[in-house]
Every structure is written in C-alpha cells, then in structure tokens.
Structure 1
Amino acid sequence: MTTIANRQPKQKLWSRSFISALLANALVFLGFEMMAPTLPLYVSSIGGEATQIGLVTGIFVISAILIRPFTGVMAMKMDKKYLLVIGVAIGALATGSYYLATEVWALVLVRILHGFGFGITTTYFTTIAAENTPGERLGEGIGYFGVGETTMVSVGPLIGVMILEIWDFKGLFLSGMAFMLLALLVTLFISRKPNNSKGSEKKPMPAIQFKLIEKRVLFQSMLSALTGISAGGIMSFIALFAVEKGLDQTAMFFTVVALAGLVVRFFSGRIYDHLGPSFVLIPFGLVALAGLVLLVFVQNNVQFLIAAFLYGLGFGAIFPALQSWCISLVEEHEHENAVASFFNFFDIGIGVGAMALGVLAQVFDTYAAVFYVSIGAYALFLLLCIFYAKKPLSYVKERSSTF
C-alpha cells in the first residue's frame, strides 16, 4: 500500500508548540483527576447525600458536552490559543473556588463552570496539537499527545488522595489550582502556526457555522460512544465488581490499564499512519474484547491484572486512532467541530452507559452483568469496523486533501 509517509520525507514532530500542548494538557488532566476520588468526600463533608454526590459528578460532564458544540464558532471569531488560555483559566478559577462553595448548590454552580473550562480545553488542546503535527504523522502525534493525560489518569487520583491526607480540602483545591495555573503558563508557549500547512497562500475565511454534530465524523463518534460505554462501566463498577469477586487489587487494576495504554501509544500511532484506521481498530478492538471476556471470568488477582493489561492495551490504541481519524476527515478550520463531536459522544457513552449499567447490575444482582454489556458494546464496535474495512479505502486521499 502506498502511503503519504512513503511519498515524502518524515517531518519534525517534537516542536516547542507540540511539547507545550502535551505538557499543559497533562497538567490540566492532573488538576481534574485529583478531584475524582476526593470531591465526593468534600460533598459528603458539607452535608451532601448520595444523590447530590451524583449530581455534582454528572453536571460536570453535562456542562462540558454543552459547551463543545460552540467551540468551532468561537474559534472563527477569536484565536483558538487565546480561547485555550481562557478555558484553562476558567478551570483554574473553578478548582480554587471549590473550597469557597460550602453549600451543595454553590458547588454545583462551580462544577458547571469547571465543566465549561474542561470542555473548551480538551477540544482546543487536541486541535492545536493536531495543527502542530505533520499530516503524515497524525496518528503518531496524537498518540504521543495522549501520553500525558493517560499518565495523569493513573497518578492523578493517587496524588489527590496523598495531598488530602497531608493537608486538608483547602490544600487539595489550592494545589489543584496551582497545577492549572502552571498549565496556563505552559500554554503561553504554544504557537498557532501549524507545521502541516500546504503552503503560505492564505485561504478566504469560511462562513461561521454552529454544528451540534459534525456529520462527517458521525460514524467515528458512534464508535467512540461504544468505547465510552465500556469505559463508564470500568470506572464506575470495577471496584464493586472486585469486592464481589473477592479481589483486592482495584488500585493496581487502574494503574495497569494506564501503563498498558501508555506503552501501546508508542507504536499504535505509526501503524495508523502507515496502514490506516482499520489496522488499529480491529486488532486492538479484539484485544480489548479479550480483556473484558477474561474480566467476567476472573478467579484471582493475577487474572484480574491480565484483564486490565489487555483492556488497557486495546483502549489505549483505539482512543487516539479514533481522534486522529476524526481530525483527518475535515478541514483545519473544522477541527473543533470534529473533536467536539468525538468527545461528546464518548462522554455520553460514559454517562448514559454508567447509569444504564447500574440498573442492569441491580436487576441481575451481580456486577458481572455490567461487563457482559461492555462485551456486547465492543462486539458491535468490531462489527462496524469490519463493515467499514470492506468498503473501498479512501483514507489516504481524505487525509492528503485535509492537510
């Protein structure tokens, strides 16, 4: 197969802007992940009940979903670097304001604000990283870009718990704000000049459009929603499932998932760039599926961690591949619409999946039911990918016209 990478010399990936975007994005995720295990404790400490804890958790995702469709329009009116700075600043302000919210209703308002900031930053960090990635190395670049957030998903909760144990909630929230402010500082070193532009000729500014869903990446976004269903089940119920099975390695499970996802990104992106999305999505979809099947039948901690490794390996390759695929299907000025659709479908899969899977676990009186549904989601994911792979491969043509 003839690819873009075969037709032209390899271009520079590790620019100052790309590295700055990677580091700043990682710091934003650190500030976010620190709150995952600790914020529910704060809600409880100010008198919140279980339903209110769920509200505080869920409203964050909802507000992020609501703001993302506007990111494309905003980027047409203002430089997206400055929009990114605003998004990170909102996140920093919200994180530092948690301690001032001594009533649940006030905390909900702060979470809405934080969700807006998170929705903005996750969209613009990804699109700016893509702009500073050579077109023929998009899969590789997006894979490396996600290393920071993958690492923080693993260590962020641990750091949050450690800070809370050493200090208190005030120290936790101020530390989170400090990491966000550091991210803001690093963001200033990002340049908006893309490395992958075809020439210096300036194109006329396209008409501003608001898109709730970018139809050209609808198929890819649906795939992300299916992976989100499984991810929501893992995040919400793996600890309870482990207790049900008599296992005691839940923290290590998440660590192994993150480490496997980190390792696979160092080569899955190159597979994507040279062979196309199907050669990543199908084989690594099978790996993730194998991990979920093993998870249902685990009998001991060793099998539990092997399942974590397989699932992490599969998901760690699939997520950046889907991101890269979405970005490659639209013009540069439409990157925000594509990335927003991708993240929103993924978040909806997590949110709706977690709620639906919780009902199933209660109905069947076992948390194993959660992962049977996750297996079904990945089976459908694979069927859709195989169906797509049978179509004429226009992937390289799409990418060459986009970049």
Structure 2
Amino acid sequence: MSIRKTFQQVSPEIRKNLVVIFLAGVLFWTSMASQLPTIPLYVRSIGGTPEQVGTVMGAFAIGLLTFRSWMGKFADQNGRRRVVQLGLLVAAIVPVFYAMLPPLPIMFGLRAIHGVCIAAFTTGVSALISDLAPPQHRGEIIGYMTLVNPLGLSLGPLLSIWIGAEYGYRGIFIAAAILAATGLAITIDLQEAESFLKAKMLDRINLAEQAAQNELSDRPGNIDRIDRLDRQLLPQISFWQLLSSDRVRIPTITLFMCGAMFGTLASFLPLLIEDRGLAMSAGLFYTVVALASFMSRLQVANTVDRYGRGLFITVGLICYALSMLCLFISSHSILVILAAIMQGAGSGIVLPTIIALLADRSTIKERGSVFGAAWIGFDLGIAAAGPVIGGLVRNVAINNAFSIAACLGIVAILLFATQSNHSLTDSFRFAIGRGKDKYAVPS
C-alpha cells in the first residue's frame, strides 16, 4: 500500500500527530548525526588514543543504560509526550557544553549525560507511534516513521562538513543544539494516542471504584494513596522478569549485537579511514548509510505486515555482518562504500522491524516498559563496543575491530534463527518467514 493511502485511512488527529513526530524526529536525528563524525576527531585532536576515543564514544550509553528502563515506566505512567520532549530538551542543552571544547574527562561526563536524550526520545517515540498506528498497518507506519533516522543521518554529516569548514568544532555543536531546540518547540501541541488515554481513563474509573470501596475519599491524604494505587494498576512485573521473558529476551540480545556493531562503527570508522589513507570522509560514509537505510525502510514499510517480522530481521542481520566484514578487509574506498550500503540496509531493516515486533508482543499499558527494557540491549552494545573492542585492538591494526564485530553479527543470526520463538522449529520457520510469531499479543 502507498504512503498516501495508508495515511488517508487514519484520522486527521492521528495524521497531525504523526507529522509532528516526523518533523521532530528529523531535527533530532540531524542534530545527533552532525556530531557523530565530529566527536571522535575532536577527541583525537586533543591527544586521545583509540581506546580513549572508544571510551568517550561509549560513555554515551551510560545515560542510555541508566535511564532507559526508567523512561519506559515513566512513559507508561505519565504519557509518551513528556518523555519525547525530555529527550529533545537534553539534546538541545548538552551540545552547548560541547561547544566549550572541554578536556577529555569533562567530555566523558557530557557524553554520558547526552545519552539520556536517546533513552527518552526513542522510547517515547516508539511507544507513541505504536499506540497511534492501527494494528493492521503497524509495521507499515513504523517503517515510514523511522525514515527520520536515515534522513537525519544523511543531513547531519553534510551539515557538519559545511559548518565545520567555516566555524570548526564549536560551530557544529551550536548548530546541533539549535536543531534539537527547534524540534522541542514543534512538539508543544503533540497529543497522546486515544487508545492510551482510554486505557488511562479506565484505570482512573477503577481507582475511583476502589477508593469508594475503601472510603478513601473521606480520609486525609487520599490523593497520595490514589497515586500509589495508580502505579499499582501497571503490570506488576519486575524489570528483570520482563527482560528475561521469552518474548523480550531474544529481541534484546539481537539489539545488543546490533548496538555493538554500531558502537564499533561510530568509534573506529574515522580512525580506519585516516589510517588507510582512503580518499573519503566519515561524513560521506554516513550519508551513504542514510540513503541505503532510507530505501530499505521504504521496502520494509511496504511489505513487513504482509510477510512477517522474522524474515526481515534475519535479512537485516546478514547485512550487518557483511558490512563489518567489508570494513575488516577494506583496502579501497569501494569496499567502504559497499560496507556503508550494507550497514544502511541492515539498520533500516532490523531496527524498525524489531520495534514492530516488540509492539506486537506488548499491551498498551506496558509498551513503554517493554521498549525501555529491550532497547537496553542496544545501549549496552554501544557502551561495550568502544572500550572493550578498543582495548582488544590497541596493539594491532584498527581494522581488526571490525572482524570482531562481524563475528557478533554471525552469532546474532544464529541466535535469532534458533531461539526467537517457542521451539527450534518455530524459531527457524519464523526467521525465514514461514511461521507466525507465537509471542504476539492478540489485537
């Protein structure tokens, strides 16, 4: 189905919200991507070693890991809109401090704080889009809405090249702050999904009935007690129970492997290009990644609801692994461009499909918590890749970092093909598009 036909089938209010989310997403990811090729070079310019570059880049995930699950619970309790806006606020503030060109220890701390914006924005947006999208078109709408990521990844590096040539590192960081602040401004009228509000309304009715039965209305402090009851209406499952549950565990591990491959790329690609003396920039690489990701997400959006989630995740993981392999053996710019195409295809297929998979496997009351728990895998992969892989390749050629990442991609393929559903047979059939997801919650 075409984009136009799909969006004509939803209400004007939903269309308005989706447009606001899309525009805010483009601004957010352009802001983030403009800094992606800049920070490793800045760290090296002030004397940072490859291991220190990896540590600073990986520090970003400290904020992600610390706040991701909390953001999911907050989104379920207080709404997705506030979480989205918090992410944009942090994304607007932290680059201002980057613009002061701080030394390494301060840069490490700022990167950790900066990670909170991803924890908030991606968790809130994923849950809000999943709430807004009709179940029969969920994968398609998620696919279209995640086009903001490749758009931002293509615009951001080009912006950093242009502004960096004129104004240096400081100019790039100020521009990133302005972009995020603009995204925050346009979300003022963003609304929650009607289904989410109805669920909260039913909760409040239940609370009123329970309060009446317990005669809370005649007692001092009843508001505090109702707020405690409100929190009790959320699914009573601990973070670790949710993370280790059959429906969430394998998607989380898959995201960990993808995060580790992305973390390797973000930390060591600029260094690989410099060390190999290749006639290209990291900005060009990320632009190609974005274009490939854009095209693959369009294909996912058009077909994922028809062919199922499993096949697309398998194909995407293969692309991830091939990308890392191309970078490992890279001796010419053509191989690096091929790696960029594979990387873009991998991320463009896997990430929106896993969002749809997690939405299928969760109810609206717990959706924020499920996204918050599963995406910790991606965050942990990013956090571990820089320092761990950086330490392993400290005394060898930098391209060896990508051989390790390629192995992680292969492991991810094997795990998903054998453990993603109830049994080995069900998992394999699901992974090749021949079986249904046994963990999906009925619509």
Scaled to the shorter chain, the TM-score interval is 0.7 to 0.9
In 2, Cα distance between the equivalents of 1:52 and 1:298?
Answer: 24
Instruction: Confirm or deny: 8 A CA contact 1:146 1:320 kept in the other structure.
Output: yes
Q: Quote the residue 1:214 is aligned against.
A: 243
Partner of 2:221: none
**Structure 1 residue 99 displacement after superposition:** 4.0
Bigger Cα displacement from structure 2, 96-105 vs 151-160: 96-105
Contact 1:21 1:128 in 2 (8 A): no
1:391 aligned to 2:426? yes
Write the distance in 1 (CA, Å) between the matches of 2:103 and 2:131: 42
Q: How far apart in 1 are the matches of 2:41 and 2:324?
A: 30
Aligned match of 1:136: 136
1:281 corresponds to? 313
Match of 1:231 among 251, 262, 266: 262
One-letter amino acid matched to 1:275: Y
Partner of 2:341: 309
Following the alignment from structure 1 to structure 2, what is the Cα–Cα distance between the partners of residues 59 and 284? 26
- Pairing 1:255-274 to 2, within 5 Å after superposition: 255-274=287-306
Q: Which residue of 2 aligns with 1:300?
A: 332
- What does residue 3 of structure 1 align with? none
Alignment pair present for 1:59 and 2:88: no
Query: Structure 1 length as normaliser, TM-score?
Result: 0.83
Aligned equivalent of 2:391, options 354, 359, 383: 359
Q: Which amino acid aligns with 1:93?
A: I
1:195–1:150 CA distance, 2 compared to 1 (3 A): farther
Gapped regions of structure 1 (runs ≥ 5) = 1-8
The 3 A distance-change label for structure 1 pair 112 and 304 is closer
| 2:234 counterpart SS class | coil
Corresponding residue for residue 328 of structure 1 = 360
Distance 1:287 1:198, change over 3 A: farther
Q: Secondary structure at the match of 2:10?
A: coil
Percent identity over the alignment is 21
1:123 Cα offset (Å): 1.1
Structure 2 counterpart of 1:343: 375
Q: By how many angstroms is 1:105 displaced?
A: 5.6
Q: Which residue pairs with 1:375 in the alignment?
A: 406
Aligned residues: 392
1:4 match: none
Relative to structure 1, the CA distance from residue 106 to residue 193 in structure 2 (aligned partners, 3 Å threshold; closer, same or farther) is: same
Taking a change above 3 Å as real, the CA distance of residues 116 and 208 of structure 1, as seen in their structure-2 partners, is farther
Judging changes above 3 Å, is the alpha-carbon distance between structure 1 residues 226 and 38 closer, same or farther for their aligned structure 2 residues?
closer
1:12 maps to which residue?
10
After TM superposition, the structure 1 stretch with the greater mean CA deviation from structure 2, 284-293 or 225-234, is 284-293
1:119 aligns with 2:119: yes
Asked if the contact 2:72/2:373 (under 8 Å) is kept, the reply is no
**CA-atom RMSD, angstroms?**
3.4
Match status 1:145 vs 2:145: yes
Answer with 30-39 or 58-67: which moved more.
Answer: 30-39
Q: Equivalent residue for 2:31? A: 31
Check 1:27–1:287 CA distance in 2 against 1; reply closer, same or farther (3 A cut): same
Q: Which runs of 5+ in 2 are unaligned?
A: 1-6, 207-229
Structure with bigger gyration radius? 2
Query: Does the C-alpha gap of structure 1 residues 113 and 243 become closer, same or farther in structure 2, counting only changes over 3 Å?
Result: closer
CA contact (8 A) 2:61 2:382 kept: no
> CA–CA distance in 1 between the matches of 2:366 and 2:394?
42
CA shift for structure 1 position 70: 0.8
What does residue 319 of structure 1 align with? 351
8 Å CA contact retained: 1:73, 1:208: no
State the match for 1:174 in structure 2: 174
Q: Is the 8 A contact 1:133 1:195 kept in 2?
A: no
